[in-house]
Amino acid sequence: MLVDSTESSLVSALFPVIRHSLGLSLEALGVLIAASKLVGTVAGPFWVWVARRWSRKGVLVLATGLWGIWGVATGFAQNFTQLLILYTVLAAGYAAAYPLITEVIGDLFDASARGRAVGLVHGAIALAAASLAPVSGLLSKTDDGWRWGLWGIGAFNVLIGLALWAWFRDPGTGAAERQLADLDRTVRAKRSRVTWSQVRALFRIPTFLILLSSRILSGQLLISTFGVVFLTDVYGFSTATASIALMPLGIGYFVGNLLGGASADGAVRLSPRYGLVLVLQTAQVAFAVVAFFGTQFSHGHTIWVFGFFFGLMGVMVGVNPGVNRPMVMAVVPPELRGAAFAIYLSIFEAIAWAGYSFAAGWVGDVIGLKAVFFWVFVVLMLVNAAVLTPAYWTYRRDAERMQNELDTRRAAAIEPQSSFPA
């Protein structure tokens, strides 16, 4: 996940150099990000479907590991058309990572530890990515630096694919559920075949619908793709200097993931009915407040002041995975979590990211990125927080319904075994 996210974000971080190298406009970045996210709306569910009929391990090895060869190819692009095509193909493979790996986390950890587990995974990725931010700055000092970055990360990802093939062990669907954990793996697997009617049933889970609505309103996603360009275009920093802000952003995201995960698990203990919703809603409001002061005012020519606010924004964004992923796991059956996260991350998040990226690139050329950031980071995030309010009434009910369903499954699975005479 680290290598995938680093390779896909490298184009965003080094876009000012790519723009100069290939003679592109700001709109080109929006098109690149939009294309890479839109292809995920098809590729993400496709890889989940393949994983059900083949294996999660096989898909992870191929689509998120060996697929790195397309990153190497992207580094050879000579014009925008080639860059767009190769970068989109690269994104099509990486779309498998988040829904499948998030599903695996749900099968490795039970409800009491999922928040911390998700937070630690995303936080570790963010911390490592933050440590690579200065490398982006160094690569920006040469016209071909972005090519060397893509070549190096792509080759390394192929090695990661081989490591997955050698050492990854799939725990199996439902392995962390207390009602299913001690059952034979083949018994649990009987429920792993997913039908279209089951997928459609996901849209009848009220909490899941609310979370989907919140995800489509997640304008904070733009901070990682347009943050460097924002600092160069609006406040006049060089690409190398602006890239420094990615380090506190990543560190803040790491801290936010740890806080979000711990807060999620603590909220479940303190207030099972309202805790998770309150933490998630508070994070949206806090991001809007920090973003207003961090992007709408000039803080001089000191990048570290902007870096401070970027770090705080990273904290608020980082809180989300450790809260919303466990909420999805709590209201969705184990065999449908891969499909749920494909819808949640590969479709709805991708549509949101693509839409905001394309609009930011196009509208930013007209009214400027400062105005775009105000409407997306401040106004839209407050709307996002308001949309989460109905979850105070739906989440506990949906989670209890899911536990009752798992209890029923366990009873059905062990009843035939206990019906034979002694």
pLDDT tens by residue, 254-265: 888 888 888 888
216, 384 contact by CB (below 8 A): no
Residue 316 CA to residue 15 CA, distance in Å, equals 25
Q: What is the DSSP letter of 245?
A: G
Residues counted in the chain: 422
Model confidence band, residue 395 (pLDDT cutoffs 50, 70, 90): very high
Residue 292 CA to residue 288 CA, distance in Å, equals 6
Model confidence band, residue 290 (pLDDT cutoffs 50, 70, 90): very high
DSSP assignment of 76-133, as one string?
A: T--SHHHHHHHHHHHHHHHTTHHHHHHHHHHHHS-TTTHHHHHHHHHHHHHHHHHHTH
Neighbours of 43 (CB within 10 A): 22
Structure tokens at 310: 């970027």
Tell me the average pLDDT of the chain: 83
Residue 277 CA to residue 271 CA, distance in Å, equals 10
Model confidence band, residue 191 (pLDDT cutoffs 50, 70, 90): low
pLDDT tens by residue, 295-350: 888 877 778 888 899 999 999 998 998 899 989 988 998 888 888 988 998 888 87
User: What is the percent of the chain where pLDDT is above 70?
Assistant: 90
pLDDT beyond 50 at 420: no
Q: What pLDDT is attached to residue 184? A: 59
pLDDT tens by residue, 141-171: 777 888 888 888 888 889 989 999 999 988 8
CATH topology of domain 2-171+205-405: Growth Hormone; Chain: A; (1.20.1250)
**pTM of the entire predicted model:** 0.75
Cβ partners under 8 Å of residue 400, min gap 6: none
Q: Where are the beta strands (DSSP E) in 232-345?
A: none
Bigger pLDDT: 84 vs 36 = 84
Domain borders along the chain are 2-171+205-405
Residue 287 CA to residue 126 CA, distance in Å, equals 18
Angle at 10 between CA 4 and CA 11, to 5 degrees: 115
Q: What pLDDT is attached to residue 419? A: 47
Neighbours of 368 (CB within 10 A): 14
101, 1 contact by CB (below 8 A): yes
Q: In the predicted model, what is the mean pLDDT of residues 89-115?
A: 85
DSSP assignment of 270-295, as one string?
A: H-TTTHHHHHHHHHHHHHHHHHHHHH
CA 353 to chain centre: 10
